[in-house]
Structure 1
Amino acid sequence: MEKSPGIYLHIGKKARELLYSDYTQQPPDSYSVGSFDLSIDLAGQVKEIVPGLTTAFRFVIPYQNTVELQYLREHAGITAGISLSSKPSLNLSGVTGNSFFSIGTDVSYNTSTMTFAKCNAGLSINSAFVVGSLTFDGLRDTFRASCYCNVLPRTNTAIAAELKFAGGDSILTFGTQHGLFRNTMLKARVSSNGKLGALVSQQVFPSFYAQL
């Protein structure tokens, strides 16, 4: 699958993860008892059920459960998903291209309100050194242009920038990361709206990380 364009979620993923992933934020869903909040987020994949077909699932306890099918071929990637609820949301996305250039769309339909919850389009240009992307959110009239640059692969040092344009306003966000040690990652970001962020991520055990 080296020539596959991947799935729509991969468009702008590297810049998005550098700029936003791991920074302190409210979990997508939580259960509150007094001042105690609990949220459990489980995700996994069952790969190659048949050639090219992958099943992905996510359970956010106590509220959100989703199941997704991903079908990857040499020049296309298709994803179909559904939320496991009494009034499910349906999601469908498709990407065409190759490992260097891809273009696609992502739509979601809310069966409870009978309206579209998401209608996005995007494109991506990928190389070993630089990854650029442009996406459009049709429901919110929002454009995002992002760029990710792998400066020093040996230490996982990279920089990323994103320009967001919505409602006549634009926000520029710049971020960087550096692998201080084998299991320690430093990240920092700054936005033109005055927001600053920094964190240290430490791998304690395989697949278990602590952030500060």
Structure 2
Amino acid sequence: MSKGPGLFADIGKKAKDLLTRDYSTDQKFSISTNSVSGLALTSTTLKKGVVHAADVATQYKYRNALFDVKIDTDSNILTTITFTEILPSTKAIASFQVPHYNSSKLEVQYFHDHATVTAIAALKQNPLIDVTATLGSPTISFGAEAGYDTTSRTFTKYNFGIILTMPDKCASVILRDKADSIKASYLQHLDESKRSAIVGEIFRKIFTNENIITVGGLYAVDHLTNVKAKLNSNGKLGALLQHEVLPKSTVTISGEIDTKTLDKYPRFGLSLALKP
């Protein structure tokens, strides 16, 4: 699209991904296939406790349109259609779910060298409308987000954020929950390939004086193996080992333990993702 600031949703995303992505206490197996016509099929089986679930996702790209259909174990069908460059620097995303039609929505994103604007509307009689805007550059940008309920004519949310991005570091601050909470994060890469990093995050509930501090890290053991770990002020310790067994195919072993209640057994997760 453009080389300007990213979306409001991108503020703090890098730190959040390092602290949350691939951590799991479930058993998950997924396999993906691609065809020369642009059709991609992904089948996922998930075991959470004693509950088993299976999802199937199909993706097809035709010119400037991307069709994504997901079917879950409850026979819910979620269809997402993404159109790029219908208008210059514009992306449109339409999604609807069967049989839950009230969850359908339309999103329009506009990208400029110094600004990014998005508008999301629920496709129902009295829609909820979300609008976000970011101003600045790829190095530093400011953003705001607002949600409006056309039925009650009230704002459901308003958030503000700022992000500073350098080649080897990233820092962000977000004021959320109608100014009731603030989240600040900092991520520092430790090598030129950006495969090793450390991250810190502070979350504070302003009116209740509740604080949660989380620190974590990513270390590349070699070109096929990564290790991640995180610890928060509530005593939750998590770690994972991820290894690329085949090109683009990975196995992930993760675990979590509450260091304040060591009498409880730790929880473990296993994930296997096979891609062509």
TM-score, scaled relative to structure 1: 0.79
CA distance in 1, matches of 2:226, 2:125: 41
Write the mapping of 1:59-78 to structure 2, written as runs, cut at 5 A.
64-78=103-117
Task: Name 1:120's counterpart in structure 2.
Answer: 159
Aligned to 1:97: 136
Change (3 A) 1:203 1:120: farther
Q: What residue number does 1:188 align with?
A: 229
Equivalent residue letter for 2:16 = R
Name the CA distance, whole Å, in 1 between partners of 2:249 and 2:179.
35
Partners of 2:85 and 2:95 lie apart in 1 by 18
Distance in 2 separating the partners of 1:38 and 1:108: 33
- Cα distance in 1 between the residues matched to 2:85 and 2:191: 33
Contact 1:155 1:179 in 2 (8 A): no
Shift of residue 116, structure 1, vs aligned partner: 3.1
Question: Which residue of structure 2 aligns with residue 31 of structure 1?
Answer: none
Decide whether aligned partners of structure 1 residues 110 and 182 sit closer, same or farther in structure 2, where only a CA change above 3 A counts. farther
CA shift in 2, pair 1:137/1:37, >3 Å: same
Counterpart amino acid of residue 177 in structure 1:
L
CA shift for structure 1 position 120? 0.6
Q: How does 1:24-63 map to 2 (within 5 A)?
A: 24=24, 35-37=51-53, 45-56=82-93
Q: Are the counterparts in 2 of residues 39 and 60 from structure 1 also a CA contact under 8 Å?
A: no
Task: Find the residue that maps to 2:109 and give its secondary structure.
Answer: strand
Q: How many residues align?
A: 206
Is residue 7 from structure 1 mapped to residue 18 from structure 2 by the alignment? no
Distance, in Å, in 2 between the alignment partners of 1:205 and 1:176 is 24
Q: Following TM superposition, by how much is the alpha carbon of 1:39 offset from its aligned partner in structure 2, in angstroms?
A: 5.8
- Shift, 1:62, TM fit: 7.0
> In structure 2, what is the Cα distance between the partners aligned to 1:60 and 1:185?
36
**Contact 2:159–2:179 under 8 Å retained in 1:** no
Residue 199 to residue 88, structure 1, CA distance change in 2 (3 Å): farther
For 1:62 and 1:152, locate their aligned partners in 2 and report how far apart those are by CA, in whole Å.
48
Change (3 A) 1:48 1:15: same
Instruction: Single out whichever of 40-49 and 154-163 deviates more from structure 2.
Output: 40-49
How far is 1:158 from its partner?
1.0
Query: CA offset at residue 60 of structure 1?
Result: 7.4
**2:212 equivalent among 171, 178, 187:** 171
Alignment of 1:78-89 (within 5 A): 78-84=117-123, 88-89=127-128
Larger Rg: 2
Deviation at 1:182, TM superposition (A): 3.8
Structure 1 residues 135 and 211 mapped into 2: Cα distance closer, same or farther (>3 Å)?
Answer: same
**CA distance in 2 between partners of 1:59 and 1:209 (Å):** 31
Structure 1 residues 204 and 45, CA gap change in structure 2 (3 angstroms):
farther
State how far apart, in whole Å, the 1-side matches of 2:224 and 2:154 are: 45
Task: Report the aligned-residue RMSD.
Answer: 3.4
What residue is the counterpart of 2:20 in the other structure? 20
- The separation in 2 between residues aligned to 1:148 and 1:106, in whole angstroms, is 23
Structure 1: gaps spanning 5 or more residues: 27-33
Identical-residue share of aligned pairs (%)? 28
Q: CA deviation at 1:205?
A: 7.5
**8 Å CA contact retained: 1:39, 1:61:** no
Amino acid at match of 2:226: M
Paired residue for 2:178? Answer: 139
- Single out whichever of 177-186 and 149-158 deviates more from structure 2: 177-186
Q: Judge which range, 34-43 or 137-146, deviates more.
A: 34-43
One-letter amino acid of the structure 1 residue matched with residue 140 of structure 2: F
SS in 2 for 1:156: coil
Alpha-carbon distance in structure 1 between the residues aligned to 2:104 and 2:248? 21
